[in-house]
Amino acid sequence: MMRSFVFCCLAVSCQSIDLLSDPSLGFSFTQSVGGILQAAQVGLSRAEHHQEKAVKRVRKEADNLLLNEGHAFGELLGVYSMELQFADRNLSNAVNASRMAIAAADAATPPDQANQWRGPLVDAKSNAKVAMDVAATAVRSTERHGKSLLRQAKTTAELTLDNHADDLSHHVGDLSGSVDAAKAKLESTLERISSQNLPANGTVMVDSKAKKDNIIARFTEVETFIKSAQAASQAKIAAAKDKVDVGIAKADRELAAKVEDMVMKLVGQEHTELQKLRGKLTATAISKLRGAKTSMPKQQVVHASSTSGEKKLKAAS
C-alpha cells in the first residue's frame, strides 16, 4: 500500500507543476526525478520500518489478548460445568432419599394394608414410585444433556476466538498459532475447574411432617419432594445456561471492542506515516522539478545569444 502511495504522490506532484508536457526539460528533468525517487525510497523504507514495528506491537498485544480470553472462557465454562454437575448430583441424591423414604413407608405399612390391590394407599404409593422413577431417568438424561450443553458453549466460545482473530489477521498476519494457544488455555482451565470435587451439601432426606402411621401422607410427601427436586434441577440447569450464554455474549462484545481499538490504532499509525511521507515527497518533488524547469531556459538563452553573435561576425567578414 505504501509503495503505491509513493507513486501516486510523484504523479500528483509532477502534474501539479505541469512539467511532464514540457519536452525541453530533457536531462535535467531525468536527474531531478532520479533524486525524487531516491528520496522516496529512503522515506518509504523509514515509513515501512515504523509500520512493521507497529504491527509487531499490535501482534504481541493480540497474542496476549487471545490467551487471556482463552483463560477467561475456560473459567466461565469450568464454573458452568460445575453447576451442571451440581444440579445432576442434587437430583441423584434426591432420588436416593426418595427411594429410602418409600422403603421406610413400605416398612411402616400395616400388614392388612400392604396387600391391598386398590385404594388411596395403593395410588399414593404408585404415584411416589412413578415420580421417583421419572426423576431417576432424568438423572441419566440430565448428565448426557449437561455434557451436550457444555460442548455447545465451548464451541461458541472457540468460534468467538476464531472470528475475532480472523479480523485481526487481516492487519497483523496469520494468528492461527495464537488461537491454538488460546484454545489450549481454555481447555486446560476448563479441565482443572470441572475436575474438582463438588462441595458437600449434607445429607439429603425427605422432610416428613406426616405422622408415622399416616402412610398415605408419607407417600404423598415423597411424590411432592422428588417432583420439586426435579423441577429445581431443571431450573438450575436453565439458569446456568443463561448465565454462560450471557457471559460468552459479553466477552464477545468486549473482545470485538478491543480488536476494533487495536485495528484503529494500527490503521491510524499507517495513516500518520503515509501523511508524513506524502508531505515530504510532495515538497521534495516540487522543489526538484521546479528547479529543473527554471534551469533549462537559462541555458537556451545563452546558446541563442552566442549563435546570433557568430552570425554578425560572419556577415561583417
> Cα separation of 118 and 161, whole Å?
62
280 band by pLDDT with thresholds 50, 70 and 90? low
- As a whole number of Å, the end-to-end CA separation of the chain is 67
pLDDT of residue 193: 93
- Most confident listed range (28-37, 107-116, 132-141, 308-317): 132-141
> Cα separation of 284 and 278, whole Å?
10
62 band by pLDDT with thresholds 50, 70 and 90? confident
Q: Which three cell numbers stand for residue 123?
A: 395410588
Whole-number CA gyration radius for the chain: 42
Average pLDDT value over all residues in the chain: 76
Min mean pLDDT across 22-31, 62-71, 79-88, 281-290 is at 22-31
pLDDT of residue 183: 95
Instruction: Report the 10 Å Cβ neighbour count for 294.
Output: 10
> Cα separation of 14 and 292, whole Å?
12
142 band by pLDDT with thresholds 50, 70 and 90? confident
pLDDT of residue 22: 52
pLDDT of residue 196: 85
12 band by pLDDT with thresholds 50, 70 and 90? very low
**How confident is the model over 242-276, as pLDDT tens digits?**
999 999 999 999 999 998 888 877 776 666 655 65
**How confident is the model over 155-204, as pLDDT tens digits?**
999 999 999 988 888 877 888 899 999 999 999 999 999 888 877 665 67
37 band by pLDDT with thresholds 50, 70 and 90? low
More confident residue, 40 or 239: 239
Contact 67, 178 (CB under 8 A): yes
> Cα separation of 163 and 123, whole Å?
57
